A and B are shown apart, each in its own frame.
Chain A
């Protein structure tokens, strides 16, 4: 199946929305309007959009600490995502979760996760439930190169393979686990895909900044998994053009390296590709401008909202009854 012009423009719209959302967060931080910390995916938008748009809306997503791209690629309400980050009661989780602990069951988004590698077994558990329930949905779990060094990654790949779970492991390899480069943290040359061979899981390493390529590979893998083929792993090579969190000084890499990588920024390369594919400059500008406008409006609206009260802070520790999915 080929992507239509409308779909391609929509992908670009989503990628700009993610970039604009995080740039807005940066400015809210510098104005002191946002507390805590946050992990941006600036430069990694193509892998988020390609994967999330490559599966069905009824497939389940599990994300990690760097999840804004995944949330917005699944088309969660930008205003409610922003409200959650701003700690407002109107956020998806009443302001209790924030960036690293956000969930929307209505959108089949099982949550971002603040523990590196923590979401991987949870995703396998969700896949086990789907298998028990004889569902035709699958689970997609995002993690970084750093998480592939956690025990949960290895344990879960082993179990998912043994049990033939309907799960897609998506490693966004951005070359750094916080400050630690993959060459010094991922043995054997810094690639994660070869690790899957030890668990008899098919894996491929792809250029993660090519949204079309990611979309196509995801679609194909998803159908194989859906048809009972067992888990697969996609390693998407990418680069975070920002620091690990907020505005850290990036002492672990050179500005020259960053300049080289900036040339591969999907938000710089994709508009050229769209022109080649026959989109007009006006269409491209419209896709970008509408995305920025959505973020701007959502931010203004969320800023007006109130934070939760003492009741919101202290209730909800225990459930009175089961919440059916």
Chain B
């Protein structure tokens, strides 16, 4: 094992797959000598050249369609959308082409593309550069959606996503890029459809993904000395959801808090909550609680931002509430 930054783990996955398979290409804005807005693709343009790393004008709608068309013809494009907020401009090609073509064209084509994009707030980036828009993609048939939280996950999953024959929305996170974690030596792949129990516990299950997972782990560590033993389950895959792992944890603890950075309404937490209600009602000892962003735009001011985005204390309050339930 060795310690690397989350962003470096992404870079290693890209490097290894570009080196392994000549049909892998990258498409995106400022991914050339600049190395990507967050430096994730640094060095790749120098190493693989402009015939593999296609740096584009600012045209999210069309570069997404270009990735789709190239994928249909046997390439494996990895598309970078600089901020997840900008996927609004790419959405038509993702929902009306990428997710549908294999099905609607009678299985004559596949669309083996990856849309990589960093979601979530980094602190002070404001309403159009801070959103976690996972909810936009999970309701579109034909798309796989993953949102890794650790360097180990992000590397193994990105390599699997690039090799998958289906379009994969790969949600990275700006707040996670500078976080370090251990990854295995040598090559490894991780399955795209599995959740991960990151820390076992007995009292309450915290279910989360992406940037909220380290917050949940921190809450667990903070409450441990108070005799509260939390289990932390990282969804990793948002579409499909790994219901086996989710339900097993719910049946063990009987109490569930679902935490996400996206707006509370219409989000992944609501979907997980509904599945638990449908399948695990007998195991529940308290109502399922969701913790997420307020249904409001994310303000630029750091002082205001914390009132909109979920904080560690919101999770602590939810733990308190769920423990007090008769």
Are B73 and A319 in contact, CB atoms less than 8 angstroms apart? Answer: no
Q: Is A31 on the interface with B (CB-CB < 8 A)?
A: no
Query: Given A93-B106, A122-B68, A321-B165, A152–B61 Cβ distance below 8 Å?
Result: yes
Q: Is A322 on the interface with B (CB-CB < 8 A)?
A: yes
**Which one of A91, A120, A125, A324 has the greatest number of beta carbons of chain B within 10 Å?**
A125
Q: Is B181 on the interface with A (CB-CB < 8 A)?
A: no
Q: Is A105 on the interface with B (CB-CB < 8 A)?
A: yes
A154-170 interface bits toward B, Cβ cutoff 8 Å, 1 = contact, 0 = none: 01101100110000000
Are A158 and B93 in contact, CB atoms less than 8 angstroms apart? Answer: no
Are A103 and B105 in contact, CB atoms less than 8 angstroms apart? Answer: yes
Are B74 and A155 in contact, CB atoms less than 8 angstroms apart? Answer: no
Q: Is B308 on the interface with A (CB-CB < 8 A)?
A: no
Q: Is A144 on the interface with B (CB-CB < 8 A)?
A: no
Are A118 and B108 in contact, CB atoms less than 8 angstroms apart? Answer: no
Q: Is B59 on the interface with A (CB-CB < 8 A)?
A: yes
Are A124 and B62 in contact, CB atoms less than 8 angstroms apart? Answer: yes
Query: Given A125-B68, A152-B65, A162-B57, A130–B73 Cβ distance below 8 Å?
Result: yes
A295-325 interface bits toward B, Cβ cutoff 8 Å, 1 = contact, 0 = none: 0000000000000000000001111111111
Set A103, A114, A156: member contacting B65, Cβ < 8 A: A156
Q: Is B117 on the interface with A (CB-CB < 8 A)?
A: no
Are B59 and A159 in contact, CB atoms less than 8 angstroms apart? Answer: yes
Set A96, A152, A319: member contacting B165, Cβ < 8 A: A319
Query: Which chain A residues border B100 with CB–CB below 8 Å?
Result: 101
Question: Top 10 nearest A-B pairs by Cβ distance?
Answer: A125-B69, A121-B65, A93-B106, A129-B73, A155-B62, A155-B59, A103-B105, A122-B69, A125-B66, A125-B70
**B contacts, CB < 8 Å to A:** 23, 25, 51, 54, 56-57, 59, 61-75, 77, 92-93, 96-97, 100-110, 112, 141-142, 144, 165-166
**A contacts, CB < 8 Å to B:** 60, 62, 91-94, 96-97, 101-105, 110-111, 113-115, 118, 120-130, 132-133, 151-152, 155-156, 158-159, 162-163, 316-325
- What are 10 contact pairs spanning A and B, CB under 8 A? A111-B109, A113-B97, A121-B64, A121-B65, A125-B71, A126-B69, A132-B25, A156-B59, A316-B107, A322-B165
